């Protein structure tokens, strides 16, 4: 163990804590802080006294007395040549981790110091993103992970940070969202912030965790954590990092070479078999679900184009699926498909379906909680991944990892005659799909015109007004949209893997605001804009995320779906009251956000986000949206409060 650990033992931090514990009850609240100040000063004193020596004597009572007074402490001498935490940051840099969301905590003071100070370009890759709540930190990682299909880091303070973040972790798990969660652990400091097996608190809903005991092991573990997060089934992983290791001597410790994970795809024989069926088909079809990364989406498009397949997509209900207005996407010219290949989706004659979180849930669920939806079902009748039940042959293999082999075989088997037949089919499908799109849009507009000039504003109008304004922007719709009618589905062109990031993975409210900010991290680096149709109930769990958007210049346009209620619950209560014959006139109690109404423009302003509203006249929407889009394109988040119809 490191020298630093020895230092800490010698200065007897537990002693200080004991002292704090016997303080009068009235002081109990401030006792930990007192201990904090005293301990830090004592550590600094010890470090100063040691003047670089490896083992230091405990400070004398006089020294402690002097150092805990108002006298400023002497500058401590560095106890290590290369801080261990610098090496940890180097590992993250080489992995290409862009961001680290966090609320500061002493259990990772060393790592935080390295993040902000280490390297040629300190505080980049990853950049420290300041969050006002740990739930936000993890929700942001979720938004980012959904948009990019790759992990960033959420850095949490011990037992406390983990608990504040726990619902967000739980949702990331349900959603199979890759992320690396690092929790600092400081066993010598405030005991309530630590635990022997800290990851146990979230083990039942994380994919993997580790608690390395040495610095070299920690560096390996960080790489393994990254590999675990991105390997199917993707999901959140946890690394517990002790302060001793963060502060350990890193001189002479090598950064291990990163080996990307090998995610198995179909074997050569299966590739041959599937390629043959696709090529033999007169009217092949792809059923595309959620792939892991943008690369998978690219290859799905390539395969559809190569074989001239019409395609079903999930891109209007979540990320990483087939672009919904691609000429191949739609019913095609003939709906009698003679071979359907599923890519993480069905129905299909053959579907490649990689492992989902459900497949490892029982293994990880050490408490036997058996979370709903992840319980092992005795005889699974439907394929995991929402594919439906009509799957002729299910191949338990990651579709994305299988695509390159399949494409290669198809390309090799291509003949001029095949090419001609395929080109013909592609043209026919494109015409039919285009027609279907135009008709679908028209039908949708026929429905959405009802209530067009209503005040409060109709939700269909919000999405419709936005459509032409974002058409030529690179946009990402990051908020869940079920509560605002999901009108983007039939009006907007979902042509990117990140066009729509989908619902709250486990239905938890308070997620949308954070996820949108996380998508904003990805967007800021890529000159993209984020659209967040923000429900009011969701906003109020952790509104401090607005400050994070302002502070870090995140291009997030939040449009309040301000129905002044947890409206979903209000409707449930109304039905319940009616069923009991008691009337619905008291159902608003506990389910509405009135008396007083919340002023979201002021809320945004308080956190440094420009805003406007409340808008009640729908004719004012377009101009406000234009101002908002201009603002976010200039790197400034913007909030527009719109008083809306409830649904």
Q: Is 584 in the site for ligand HEC (CB under 6 A)?
A: yes
Q: Is 484 in the site for Mg ion (CB under 5 A)?
A: no
Q: Is 452 in the site for ligand HEC (CB under 6 A)?
A: no
From ligand HEC, Mg ion, ligand TPP, none, interface partner of 575 (C-beta below 5 to 8 A by class): ligand HEC
User: Taking each helix axis from N to C terminus, what angle separates 416-448 and 459-470, rounded to the nearest 10 degrees?
Assistant: 140
Q: Helix, strand, or coil here: 165?
A: helix
Distance CA 621, CA 194 (A): 50
Q: Is 571 in the site for ligand HEC (CB under 6 A)?
A: yes
Q: Helix, strand, or coil here: 184?
A: strand
Q: Is 595 in the site for another protein (CB under 8 A)?
A: no
From ligand HEC, ligand TPP, another protein, none, interface partner of 507 (C-beta below 5 to 8 A by class): ligand TPP
Q: And the tokens for 462?
A: 């919000």
| Binding mask of the shown chain, residues 543 to 572, with x at each position contacting another protein by CB under 8 A | ----------------------x-xx-xxx
From ligand HEC, Mg ion, another protein, none, interface partner of 61 (C-beta below 5 to 8 A by class): none
Element (DSSP H or E) covering residue 168: helix 158-175
| Candidates 182-190, 285-293, 348-356, 462-470; binding stretch for another protein (CB under 8 A) | 462-470
Are 59 and 16 spatial neighbours (Cβ–Cβ below 8 Å)?
A: no
Strand order in the sheet with 638-643: 475-477, 529-535, 556-562, 638-643, 610-615
Q: And the tokens for 214?
A: 């040495």
Burial of 589 (0-12, 13-18, 19+ CB in 10 A): exposed
Looking at the Cβ atoms of 233 and 618, the one nearer to another protein is: 618
Binding test (CB under 8 A) with another protein, winner from 585, 594, 595, 596: 585
Nearest to 143 by CA among 460, 555, 541: 555
| Binding mask of the shown chain, residues 435 to 454, with x at each position contacting another protein by CB under 8 A | --xx-xxx--xx--xxxxxx
Looking at the Cβ atoms of 60 and 434, the one nearer to another protein is: 434
Q: And the tokens for 213?
A: 């005991």
Q: And the tokens for 585?
A: 């006139």
Tally of CB atoms within 10 A around 435: 13
Least separation in angstroms between residue 282's CB and ligand TPP is: 46
Residue in the shown chain whose Cβ atom is closest to ligand HEC: 574
Looking at the Cβ atoms of 254 and 579, the one nearer to ligand HEC is: 579
Are 473 and 505 spatial neighbours (Cβ–Cβ below 8 Å)?
A: no
From ligand TPP, ligand HEC, Mg ion, none, interface partner of 244 (C-beta below 5 to 8 A by class): none
Q: Helix, strand, or coil here: 583?
A: coil
Q: What CA–CA distances, in Å, run from 583 to 68, 387, 638, 647?
A: 65, 41, 41, 21
Q: Interface residues for another protein in 297-326 (CB under 8 A)?
A: 301, 323, 325-326
Distance CA 515, CA 367 (A): 28
φ and ψ at residue 79, rounded to 5 degrees: -95, -15
Looking at the Cβ atoms of 410 and 466, the one nearer to ligand TPP is: 466
Supply the DSSP symbol for 560: E
Q: Is 535 in the site for Mg ion (CB under 5 A)?
A: yes
Q: And the tokens for 584?
A: 């619905």
Q: Is 575 in the site for ligand HEC (CB under 6 A)?
A: yes
Site residue total, another protein (CB under 8 A): 59
Q: Interface residues for Mg ion in 544-573 (CB under 5 A)?
A: 563, 565, 567
Q: Is the peptide bond preceding residue 456 cis, with omega within 30 degrees of 0?
A: yes
Element (DSSP H or E) covering residue 136: helix 134-148
Residue length of the chain? 647
Q: Is 369 in the site for another protein (CB under 8 A)?
A: no
Least separation in angstroms between residue 618's CB and another protein is: 10
Q: Is 582 in the site for ligand HEC (CB under 6 A)?
A: no
Distance CA 518, CA 139 (A): 7
Q: Is 647 in the site for ligand HEC (CB under 6 A)?
A: no
Are 538 and 508 spatial neighbours (Cβ–Cβ below 8 Å)?
A: no
Looking at the Cβ atoms of 219 and 523, the one nearer to another protein is: 523
Q: Is 456 in the site for another protein (CB under 8 A)?
A: yes
| Binding mask of the shown chain, residues 250 to 279, with x at each position contacting another protein by CB under 8 A | ------------------------------
| Residues contributing to the site for ligand TPP (CB under 6 A) | 483, 507-510, 535-538, 563, 565-569
CA dihedral (474, 478, 484, 486) in degrees, to 10, reads: 60
| Candidates 122-130, 298-306, 359-367, 570-578; binding stretch for ligand HEC (CB under 6 A) | 570-578
Could you identify the residue written with the tokens 């028209």?
A: 442
Looking at the Cβ atoms of 157 and 564, the one nearer to another protein is: 564
Residues near ligand HEC (CB under 6 A) are 571, 574-575, 584
Q: Which residues bind Mg ion (CB under 5 A)?
A: 535-537, 563, 565, 567
Q: Which residues bind another protein (CB under 8 A)?
A: 301, 323, 325-327, 434, 437-438, 440-442, 445-446, 449-456, 458-460, 464-465, 467-468, 471-472, 474, 491, 493, 495-496, 565, 567-568, 570-572, 574-585, 587-588, 622, 645-647
């Amino acid at each position: 163990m490191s020298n630093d650990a020895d230092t800490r033992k010698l200065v007897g931090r537990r002693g200080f804590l004991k002292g704090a514990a016997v303080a009068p009850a009235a002081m109990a609240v401030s006792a930990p802080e007192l201990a904090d100040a005293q301990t830090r000063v004592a550590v600094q004193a010890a470090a100063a006294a040691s003047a670089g020596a490896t083992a230091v004597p405990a400070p004398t009572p006089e020294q402690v007395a002097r150092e805990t007074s108002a006298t400023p402490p002497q500058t401590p001498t560095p106890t290590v040549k290369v801080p261990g935490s610098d090496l940890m940051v180097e590992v993250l840099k080489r992995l290409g981790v862009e961001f680290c969301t966090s609320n500061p905590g002493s259990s990772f003071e060393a790592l935080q110091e390295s993040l902000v100070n280490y390297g040629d370009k300190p505080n980049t890759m990853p950049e420290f993103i300041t969050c006002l709540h740990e739930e936000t930190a993890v929700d942001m990682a979720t938004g980012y992970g959904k948009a990019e299909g790759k992990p960033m880091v959420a850095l949490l303070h011990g037992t406390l940070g983990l608990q504040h973040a726990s619902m967000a972790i739980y949702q990331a798990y349900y959603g199979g969202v890759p992320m690396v969660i690092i929790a600092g652990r400081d066993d010598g400091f405030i005991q309530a912030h630590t635990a022997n097996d800290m990851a146990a608190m979230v083990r039942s809903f994380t994919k993997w965790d580790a608690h390395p005991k040495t610095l070299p092991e920690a560096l390996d573990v960080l790489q393994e954590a990254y590999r675990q997060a991105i390997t199917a089934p993707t999901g959140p992983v946890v690394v517990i990092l002790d302060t001793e290791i963060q502060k350990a001597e890193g001189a002479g410790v090598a950064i291990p070479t990163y080996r990307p994970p090998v995610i198995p795809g179909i074997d050569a024989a299966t590739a041959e078999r599937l390629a043959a069926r696709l090529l033999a088909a007169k009217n092949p079809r792809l059923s595309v679900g959620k792939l892991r990364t943008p690369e998978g989406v690219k290859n799905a498009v390539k395969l559809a184009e190569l074989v001239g397949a019409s395609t079903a997509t999930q891109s209007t209900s979540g990320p990483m699926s087939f672009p919904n207005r691609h000429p191949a996407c739609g019913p095609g010219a003939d709906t009698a498909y003679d071979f359907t290949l599923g890519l993480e989706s069905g129905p299909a004659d053959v579907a490649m379906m990689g492992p989902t979180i459900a497949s490892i849930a029982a293994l990880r669920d050490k408490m036997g909680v058996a979370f709903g939806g992840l319980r092992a079902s005795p005889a699974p009748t439907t394929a995991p991944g929402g594919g439906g039940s009509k799957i002729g042959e299910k191949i338990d293999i990651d579709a994305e990892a299988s695509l390159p082999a399949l494409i290669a075989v198809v390309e090799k088997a291509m003949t001029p005659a095949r090419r001609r037949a395929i080109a013909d089919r592609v043209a026919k499908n494109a015409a039919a799909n285009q027609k279907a799109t135009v008709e679908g849009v028209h039908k949708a507009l026929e429905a959405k015109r009802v209530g067009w000039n209503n005040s409060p504003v109709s939700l269909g109008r919000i999405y419709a007004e936005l459509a032409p304004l974002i058409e030529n922007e690179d946009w990402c719709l990051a908020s869940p949209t079920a509560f605002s009618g999901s009108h983007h589905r039939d009006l907007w062109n979902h042509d990117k893997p990140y066009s729509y990031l989908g619902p709250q993975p486990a239905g938890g409210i308070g997620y949308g605001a954070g996820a949108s900010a996380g998508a904003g991290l990805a967007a800021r680096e890529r000159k993209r804009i984020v659209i967040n149709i923000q429900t009011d109930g969701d906003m109020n769990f952790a509104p401090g995320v607005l400050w994070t958007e302002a502070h870090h210049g995140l291009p997030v346009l939040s449009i309040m779906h301000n129905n002044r209620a947890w409206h979903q619950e209000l409707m449930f209560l109304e039905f319940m009251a009616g069923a009991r014959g008691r009337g619905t006139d008291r159902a608003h109690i506990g389910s509405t956000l009135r008396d007083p109404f919340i002023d979201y423009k002021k809320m945004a302003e308080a956190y440094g986000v420009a805003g406007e509203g409340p808008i009640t006249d729908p004719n004012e929407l377009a101009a406000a949206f234009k101002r908002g889009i201009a603002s976010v394109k200039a790197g400034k988040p913007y909030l527009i409060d719109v008083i809306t119809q409830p649904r």
